[in-house]
Every structure is written in structure tokens, then in C-alpha cells.
Amino acid sequence: MPTERPEPPLTGGEREMLRAFLDFHRATLAMKCDDLSDDDLRRRSMPPSTLSLLGLVRHMAEVERTWFRRAINGEDIPFVWSPEGDFQAAYDPTGSTRTEAFDAWQAEVEHSRRIEREAESLDVTGYFARWGEDVSLRLVMLHLIHEYARHNGHADFLREGIDGVTGA
């Protein structure tokens, strides 16, 4: 079943707009993976790069987990795919399946949505250890939109290289 992508509103409050654009970009990544086999999803872009669609999904699970659960919610939890905290480990989809990666990613997205919904305002802050700084929920949502947009560009090229499919 094809992924349905919500269209962000053209007007609205700041939080509503951030939420809508983040969900738009999440759905875009899922759309780029629609109707592909596990082998297709693991297909790497070109040597020496290890970039793949499945690796991007795994990476975004780590990103969601790190920014929303670890930073904003202050949860002391390990990375999904690297007990050592190596962001790069998620990019290697060797042995991973669509089901494993998408289940982990969707679980993290649901945690992120809950944390955002329960936050009093976009001014809520959490500590981002890698930067050694406090960050606001606003910054986290903007950063995630940026992160998805950048990686969705990669996903466009990866999908086209697999089966020629292009477009939004």
C-alpha cells in the first residue's frame, strides 16, 4: 500500500506548521521506499559510499531517538544500532530487513510525536550532550525537518538508481 503523505497547511500557528512539515518529510522518506524489496533497500549508491535507503531509515530512527528521547526527554537510553553511540553504524544495513528498520523507525517517530504533543511549548529545553548545550523543542523540530529534507534528497537519487522512479 503506497504511503500517504500529508500536505502541510499554507497558514497556521508555528507549532502546527512545524509538526506538519516534519510529518511531510517523514512520509516522503517512507514513499521513497515504497514497493521495494529488502535487497533493493540495501542497495548502495556507489563505491566507496555505503549509503542506502535502508541505511537512511535506520539513521533517521537514531536521529529521532537522539533528539527527542535523549535530548528533550532526558532518557538515558542507548542508540538503536550502536551500543558505542556511533551514528555511522546505522548506515550499514547489512543483514537488516525492511521490517526491522521500519519498525524501529516508526517506534521512534511515535515516541517523538508523543514527546512533542506533551511538551508545554516549543520553548521546552533539553540537554544535547554532543553539543554540550541546552536545546529547545523548536530547534529540535527545525533540525529534524532539515535532516529529513537533506536525506530525502539522497533518497531521491537512491530510488532513481534502483528502478528509475523519480518525483516528489
Q: Domain limits of the chain?
A: 14-163
Q: How confident is the model at residue 83 (pLDDT cuts 50, 70, 90)?
A: confident
Backbone Cα Rg of the chain: 16
- Whether residue 1 is predicted with pLDDT greater than 90 in this model: the reply is no
Q: Which residue has the higher pLDDT, 168 or 44?
A: 44
Q: Model pTM?
A: 0.94
| Of 110-114, 139-143, 151-155, 163-167, minimum mean pLDDT range | 163-167
Q: What is the percent of the chain where pLDDT is above 90?
A: 80
Collapsing DSSP states into helix, strand and coil, what is residue 139?
helix
pLDDT per residue as tens digits for the range 6-34: 899 999 999 999 999 999 999 999 999 99
Burial of 56 (0-12, 13-18, 19+ CB in 10 A): buried
Q: Find the DSSP H helices in the chain.
A: 14-33, 38-42, 53-64, 98-118, 137-163
Q: How many CB atoms lie within 10 A of CB 117?
A: 9
- What is the total residue count of the chain? 168
Which residue in 4, 104, 100, 93 sits closest to 44, CA to CA?
A: 93
Mean of pLDDT values over 69-73: 97
Residues 6+ apart with CB under 8 A from 90: 55, 58, 59, 61, 62, 79, 80, 81, 82
> So what's the pLDDT on residue 125?
98
CATH code, 14-163 = 1.20.120.450
60 vs 46: which has the higher pLDDT: 60
